[in-house]
């Protein structure tokens, strides 16, 4: 029995041994299999994983390229800034955490509790406390680190911050970048890839605790900085346009602002583009102007206010010259005229009759004038902006031909340039309905954006070609060379040069309030009635006033289009709203562009010479030879004193008073109310009172119906004879 038990036990042990041997062999085979997988099949993957465990990668941020205007004036750049971060792994204890929280909270203005919360994240060596430190704050942080020996616990990291030197200037064109240094709007967005460059990286060896390894394991790939971009924008012209749009906004308080574009008619380069209100590119999340007023007046919950604020910001950021549609009104009559003349539907000698109204399919279309224009040529109808005449022209052209040219002029497609946010036009593709065609013929029943319209009407100024409005001019390469961008140089013929030149001549100095002293300007105003809003009163009407001009008329170089959207001042016509803006803008822009005056029908000014100590008769002769009126006071033979003084600018025909005695008395003149007087009435009064008038605003000797609208000296105030009074003039015209 014992022997049997022994045999049985031996068999069990042997079986167990064989099982364990088989198990161990199986484990060995599995280990060999796993080793083969790790060393051969997944070798590259495991190598990378191992590298990741003992290395850390640091991104080296590329510096974003600069944005310049066409004359290399800096519009956007990136500056070096510092980011403060802490390393919770290196914070020894709660006392040190408290010290860090107290110091950084005081210096950076960050909540102490927020810093302490981040200090608790012991798994991390990188917790950002604040970005974009100013230089003085950076120095305070460095002093805090040095004083408390916190070089491991509190660190500074170099980065970049986008800076816009001129704040609000051209904000809707330039756009801005977000927190990740990515362009979110405008040129910053369109050319983000070129401006961004390519980030570099540095790889360093570290142990499992994030400490640097004792051996060197590092690679470095340098960042490739972004390209510098040269835009078509001209800083000076942009500033001038913005200044006068702001004045227009303050004067007429348009509900939806005012906007303008100035473009080179031959190339499509946009020299200026502005919408009021603008916003500060350095603080793009802050509401400004009317948008801030709307937000402050809004009543609602915190959640509702936050949502409303976001909607206002998005609207504030829009480049409304591209994103907003509007009915061009009578400025579109340029296009209707071009279609008819180009196709021979009518000629310059054709006539159309205005009885103040015209009926189409039972609907009466009125002329803006209460007095019938009667029989008019095409040129007269265009200058008179006569709706009944243009209805007749449109019906004569026909829907099919009108639609063909509407497309040819570019109104059915986006201009497809580098301008962000462009809205698609709204129009009738089928103009078989005569009433719809009639309305379209004078610029109603369609909605287009300003980019489309300025491109279309500029064909009148450049000999019949459609150009593409655009903002890119070229790039500055790393070696400093400038490379022009020619993607938008293609022109497309739409009408003949003969047709274009004919219409351009029709419009020369046709809009009095767009006149510029010394220059001939071709202009057309427009007034369109907007669709009534849901909250409108039954008798409430809303209007858009606009004007387009080409200068100089002899050989246009630039086009300017201004739109005033829903004015609340009581003025509704484009001639009252937009045309004066154009006059003011061009009066500064044309001399800046060194375009010489060509119109001698305006008042000249001159500087007064020094006549003191001169013989009285010779002085009198010199004054009158200069085209001035001379008044002598005293019985002496030489000039002892004079008014106005040397260098004073006065108007041709003004008065110079020569005194022959040193101890002379100066007569006083009480200034009357000049507002509402014609220029001749003002000049006659000034001559009689022996004072001088400098004309401001809009005035041309050829035009009638001109009146003073303001004066520099208050009514009833006394001034010396020979003094200069500035008087602004404007025209009372209600042409659409």
Please tell me whether residue 8 adopts helix, strand or coil conformation.
Answer: helix
> How far is the first Cα of the chain from the last one, in angstroms, to the nearest whole number?
130
Mean pLDDT of 554-567: 97
Measured CA distances, 468 to 104, 421, 485 (Å) = 53, 16, 13
Q: d(Cα 279, Cα 317) in Å, to the nearest integer? A: 7
In a domain, 676, yes or no: yes
Domain boundary pick from 212, 231, 250:
231
Q: Residue 728's pLDDT is what?
A: 85
In a domain, 538, yes or no: no
Q: d(Cα 545, Cα 575) in Å, to the nearest integer? A: 8
Bridge partners (DSSP) listed for residue 650: 606
Q: Residue 600's pLDDT is what?
A: 64
> How big is the CA angle at 357 (ends 356 and 361), to the nearest 5 degrees?
175
Domain boundary pick from 493, 517, 541:
517
Q: Residue 480's pLDDT is what?
A: 81
Task: Report residue 217's pLDDT band, with 50, 70 and 90 as the boundaries.
Answer: very low
Q: d(Cα 607, Cα 622) in Å, to the nearest integer? A: 13
Tens-place pLDDT, residues 32-74: 877 777 677 766 666 665 555 555 566 667 789 999 999 999 9
Task: Report residue 385's pLDDT band, with 50, 70 and 90 as the boundaries.
Answer: very high
Q: Residue 220's pLDDT is what?
A: 64
- pLDDT, greater one: 672 or 208: 672
Please tell me whether residue 216 adopts helix, strand or coil conformation.
Answer: coil
Instruction: Tell me the residue ranges of DSSP E strands in 311-386.
Output: 351-354, 357-360, 363-366, 374-377
In a domain, 669, yes or no: yes
Domain boundary pick from 492, 517, 542:
517
Mean pLDDT of 212-231: 72
In a domain, 145, yes or no: yes
Question: Percent helix, strand and coil across the chain, each rounded to 5?
Answer: 35, 25, 40
User: Is the pLDDT reported for residue 2 higher than 70?
Assistant: no
Q: What is the DSSP letter of 157?
A: E
State phi, psi for 430 to the nearest 5 degrees: -115, 115
- Same-domain pairing of 354 and 205: no
**Percent above pLDDT 70 for the chain:** 90
10 Å CB burial of residue 588 (0-12, 13-18, 19+) is middle
In a domain, 284, yes or no: no
Structural domain span for residue 454: 323-517
Mean pLDDT of 497-508: 96
Q: Residue 34's pLDDT is what?
A: 77
- Same-domain pairing of 377 and 491: yes
- Same-domain pairing of 329 and 455: yes
SS (H, E, C) 629-643: EEEEECCCCECCEEE
Tens-place pLDDT, residues 569-612: 999 999 999 999 999 999 999 999 999 888 666 677 889 999 99
Task: Report residue 251's pLDDT band, with 50, 70 and 90 as the boundaries.
Answer: very high
Q: Which residues contact 535 (CB under 8 A, 6 or more apart)?
A: none
Instruction: For the full predicted model, state whether its pTM sits above 0.85.
Output: no
Report how many domains make up the chain.
Answer: 3
| 568 within 8 A of 614, measured Cβ to Cβ | no
| 316 within 8 A of 287, measured Cβ to Cβ | yes
Please tell me whether residue 128 adopts helix, strand or coil conformation.
Answer: strand
In a domain, 313, yes or no: no
Q: Residue 25's pLDDT is what?
A: 81
Check which CATH number belongs to the domain holding 148 and give it: 3.90.1310.10
Please tell me whether residue 626 adopts helix, strand or coil conformation.
Answer: coil
Q: Residue 61's pLDDT is what?
A: 73
Tens-place pLDDT, residues 451-468: 999 999 999 999 999 999
Q: Residue 532's pLDDT is what?
A: 67
In a domain, 462, yes or no: yes
Task: Report residue 215's pLDDT band, with 50, 70 and 90 as the boundaries.
Answer: very low
Residue 620 structure tokens: 């009198």
- Same-domain pairing of 611 and 513: no
Tens-place pLDDT, residues 284-335: 999 999 999 999 999 989 999 999 999 999 999 999 999 999 999 999 999 9
Tens-place pLDDT, residues 647-704: 998 988 899 999 999 889 999 999 999 999 988 899 899 999 999 998 877 776 666 7
Tens-place pLDDT, residues 386-422: 999 999 999 999 999 999 999 999 999 999 899 999 9
- Same-domain pairing of 511 and 609: no
Residue 695 structure tokens: 């004309």
Check which CATH number belongs to the domain holding 657 and give it: 3.30.10.20
In a domain, 456, yes or no: yes
């Amino acid at each position: 029995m014992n022997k049997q038990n022994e045999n049985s036990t031996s068999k069990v042990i042997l079986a167990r041994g064989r099982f364990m041997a088989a198990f161990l062999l199986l484990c060995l085979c599995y280990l060999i299999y796993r080793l083969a997988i790790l060393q051969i099949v997944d070798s590259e993957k495991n190598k990378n994983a191992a590298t990741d465990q003992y290395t850390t990668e640091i991104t080296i941020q590329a510096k974003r390229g600069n944005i310049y205007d066409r004359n290399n004036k800096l519009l956007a750049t990136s500056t070096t800034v510092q980011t403060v971060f802490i390393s919770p792994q290196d914070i020894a204890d709660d006392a040190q955490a408290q010290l860090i929280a107290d110091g950084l909270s005081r210096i950076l203005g960050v909540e102490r509790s927020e810093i302490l919360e981040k200090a608790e994240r012991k798994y991390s060596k990188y917790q950002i406390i604040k970005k974009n430190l100013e230089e003085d704050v950076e120095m305070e942080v460095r002093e805090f680190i040095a004083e408390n020996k916190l070089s491991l616990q509190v660190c500074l990291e170099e980065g970049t911050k986008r800076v816009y030197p001129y704040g609000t200037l051209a904000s809707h064109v330039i756009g801005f970048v977000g927190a990740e240094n990515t362009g979110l709007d405008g040129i910053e967005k369109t050319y983000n890839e070129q401006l961004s460059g390519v980030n570099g990286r540095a790889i360093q060896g570290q142990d499992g605790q994030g400490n640097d390894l004792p051996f060197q394991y590092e690679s470095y790939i340098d960042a490739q900085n972004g390209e510098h971009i040269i835009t078509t924008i001209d800083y000076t012209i942009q500033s001038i346009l913005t200044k006068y749009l702001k004045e227009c906004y303050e004067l007429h308080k348009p509900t939806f602002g005012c906007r303008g574009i100035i473009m080179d008619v031959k190339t499509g380069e946009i020299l200026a583009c502005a919408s009021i209100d603008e916003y500060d590119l350095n603080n793009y999340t802050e509401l400004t102007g009317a948008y801030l007023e709307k937000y402050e007046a809004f009543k609602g919950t915190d959640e509702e206010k936050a949502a409303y604020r976001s909607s206002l910001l998005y609207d504030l950021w829009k480049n409304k010259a591209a994103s907003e549609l509007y009915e061009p009104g009578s400025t579109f009559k340029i296009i209707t005229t071009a279609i008819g003349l180009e196709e021979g539907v009518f000629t310059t000698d054709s006539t159309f009759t205005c009885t103040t109204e015209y009926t189409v399919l039972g609907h009466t279309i009125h002329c803006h004038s209460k007095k019938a224009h009667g029989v008019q040529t095409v040129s007269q109808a265009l200058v008179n902006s006569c709706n009944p005449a243009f209805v007749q022209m449109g019906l004569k052209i026909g829907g099919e031909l009108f639609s063909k040219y509407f497309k040819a002029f570019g109104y059915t497609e986006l201009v497809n340039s580098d301008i962000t946010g462009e809205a698609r036009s709204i129009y009738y593709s089928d103009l078989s309905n005569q009433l719809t065609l009639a309305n379209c013929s004078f610029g109603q029943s369609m909605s287009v954006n300003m980019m489309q319209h300025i491109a279309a009407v500029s064909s009148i100024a450049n000999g019949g070609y459609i150009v593409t409005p655009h903002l890119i001019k070229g790039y500055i390469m790393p070696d400093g060379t400038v490379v022009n961008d020619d993607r938008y140089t293609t022109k497309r013929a739409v009408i003949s040069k003969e047709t274009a030149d004919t219409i351009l001549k029709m419009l020369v100095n046709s809009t009095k309030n767009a006149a510029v002293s010394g220059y001939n300007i071709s202009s057309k105003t427009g007034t369109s009635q907007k669709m009534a809003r849901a909250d409108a009163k039954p008798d409430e009407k809303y209007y858009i006033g606009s004007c387009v001009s080409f200068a100089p008329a002899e050989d246009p170089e630039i086009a300017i289009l201004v739109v005033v959207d829903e004015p609340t001042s009581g003025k509704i016509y484009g001639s009252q709203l937009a045309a004066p803006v154009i006059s003011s803008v061009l009066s500064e822009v044309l001399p800046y562009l060194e375009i010489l005056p060509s119109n001698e029908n305006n008042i000249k000014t001159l500087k007064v010479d020094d006549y003191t100590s001169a013989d009285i008769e010779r002085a009198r002769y010199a004054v009158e030879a200069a085209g001035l009126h001379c008044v002598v006071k005293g019985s002496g033979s030489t000039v002892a004193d004079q008014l106005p003084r040397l260098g004073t600018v006065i108007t041709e025909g003004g008065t110079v008073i020569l005194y022959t005695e040193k101890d002379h008395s100066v007569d006083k003149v009480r200034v009357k109310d000049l507002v509402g007087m014609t220029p001749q009435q003002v000049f006659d009064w000034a001559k009689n009172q022996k004072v001088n008038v400098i004309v401001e605003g809009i005035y041309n000797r050829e035009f009638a119906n001109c009146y003073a609208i303001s004066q520099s000296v208050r009514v009833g105030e006394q001034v010396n004879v020979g003094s200069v009074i500035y008087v602004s003039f404007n025209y009372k015209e209600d042409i659409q």
